[in-house]
Amino acid sequence: MTASDTTVSRPGGTSATGTAPPARTRRGRHAALLIGLAGVLLLVCLAAAGTGQVQISPAEVLGSVLHRLGLPVGPLPEAAQGENALWVVRFPRVTLAVIVGASLGCAGALMQGTFGNPLAEPGVIGVSSGAAVGAAVTIVTGVSALGGWTIATAAFLTGLLTTFAVYAMSRSDGRTEVVTLVLTGVAVNAIAGAVLGLVMFFGDADAVRAIAFWQLGSLAQATWGSVLVTLPCAVLGIGAALTAAGRLDLLALGERPAHHLGVPVERLRLLMIGTTALLAASAVAFTGVISFVGLVVPHLIRLVAGPGHRTLIPASALGGAIIVVAADLAARTLIDYQELPLGVLTAVVGGPCFFWLLRRARSRAGGWA
């Protein structure tokens, strides 16, 4: 045996050559990615909270938060309405943007992992279209049993019901085929689109404008009440997704290998579909349809972190939050005294981005397969 055939171990786990084991290097890189995304999210939130008709510096934003937490550190807003602007208008909006973006990003990663399909996103299983129908019917009929919460509640419930209707109709002989579920979702989305068109046809001008505004997506109606409703749904959904991350990695090997490795494939799919429905329905209930976040963000994360769901899920949640907060900031500041539709803005940016990803995949690997 020659000296080149041996390596000397060191206390830190590196060899005499000074190279770290690939697994440790990979874990360090993934941890750095998550920390970096969290830092970017914090900076974007500070910028979003301080930008508006009443300008507040990031130091004043952070100082206001610390003072509310009982820590008299940092400056308070100098503007007369600074505190009210932060705590009544901007913080609820930024917080809801974080929750919605994290929910949609996580839901997209779950859908793509569960179906093994890079084109999968929450809208495929009817969440968005079902929620849109529920909101539209409520607007046209004028039902207000729950006051200001009526539309959001109707959107949330119909989004969940549509998702489980798609799942029930795609089952056969006690199992669900991915292709059948996706095609069923396409058919249900088409039916929901037709119903939505009929509802708008029979509605008056005010109702049509309200439905169109809801479909375009906006965070203008954000309140602390909507935050308190969506936050538990996001925490529960992302927690369930993280718990299933290891099994999703095994499912990526294929249904049969995953089953032989002890993964209850059908039960896992049902759980992940329910989790996706919870995340997406709670998100769109208060904001309307925000497109392309759940589709594009997981692909962008995979370029850096790879396909492992233990990193992909939290990174997609952080990435989705960054995208929605930044897009909402642009939507309300690009044009003076006007607010662009948030869903339109994310589609304008997300569409070309997804096209670039498609071209990249085709040039490097011959396609998505």
Task: Find the mean pLDDT for residues 100-110.
Answer: 94
Cα dihedral sign, 140-142-144-145: negative
**Residues paired with residue 172 on neighbouring β-strands, in sequence order:** 175
- Structure-block tokens of residue 257: 């290998």
| Owner of token pair 């039902």 | 143
Tell me the average pLDDT across 317-327.
96
Print burial letters for 61-95: b (CB count within 10 Å at least 16), e (below 16). bbbbbeeeeeeeeeebbeeeebbebbeebbbbbbb
**Residue 48: strand, helix, or coil:** helix
329 or 360: whose pLDDT is higher? 329
pLDDT at 2: 44
* Global confidence as pTM: 0.85
For residue 92, is pLDDT > 80? yes
CATH assignment of 97-364, among 3.40.50.11740, 1.10.3470.10, 1.10.10.10, 1.10.8.60:
1.10.3470.10
Residue pair 127/280 in contact by the 8 Å Cβ criterion: yes
pLDDT higher than 60, residue 4: no
Predicted local confidence at residue 253, as pLDDT: 86
pLDDT of residue 61 exceeding 80, the answer is yes
The predicted-structure confidence for 246-282, as pLDDT tens digits, reads as follows: 999 998 888 888 888 888 888 898 899 889 988 988 8
